Amino acid sequence: MSVKLVSLKCPSCGKALSVERGAENVFCTYCGTPLRVEPRNRFSFHFFNEAKIRKAEANEKIRMKQLEMKEREAKRKRKDQWIAIAVALLFAFAMIFIPMLLRR
């Protein structure tokens, strides 16, 4: 069994590359650009935009973290509000009941 090679041109530097048939992700041996062999068209190279995908994923993660932090902040604020209301109510009750108890 011999390995079948396909000749493809790097879309980045234009140099001809020999790629093993069936390979999906390759790097240009000349310029190092990550490339993906399009399965629908074995004879064309497409930029494998891994960097962009990774960046998008990282951005998404950051966005999720920010949302999470905002949510947590909102929860904390709501909790603080409830504590403030509870303290105010306790204070109001004390102001009403303590004089009543003292009057007896």
Q: H/E element holding 24?
A: none
Q: How far apart are CA 29 and CA 17, in angstroms?
A: 8
Q: Identify which of residues 13 and 56 has a Cβ nearer to Zn ion in the complex.
A: 13
Q: What is the DSSP string of 14-25?
A: --EEEEETT--E
Residue 13 contacts Zn ion per CB under 5 A: yes
Site string for Zn ion, 17-56 (x = CB under 5 A): -----------x-xx-------------------------
Q: Identify which of residues 22 and 32 has a Cβ nearer to Zn ion in the complex.
A: 32
With CB under 5 A as the contact rule, which of the stretches 3-11, 39-47, 48-56, 58-66 interacts with Zn ion?
A: 3-11
Q: How far apart are CA 82 and CA 104, in angstroms?
A: 33
Tokens of 23: 């390979």
Residue 10 contacts Zn ion per CB under 5 A: yes
What are the residues facing 9 on neighbouring strands? 16
Place of tokens 């603080």: 80
Of 9, 12, 23, 34, the one binding Zn ion by CB under 5 A: 12
- Considering Cα of 37, then 38, then 40, then 43, what sign does the dihedral take? negative
Q: Report the nearest approach of Zn ion to the CB of residue 49 (Å).
A: 15
Task: Give the binding site for Zn ion (CB under 5 A).
Answer: 10, 12-13, 28, 30-31
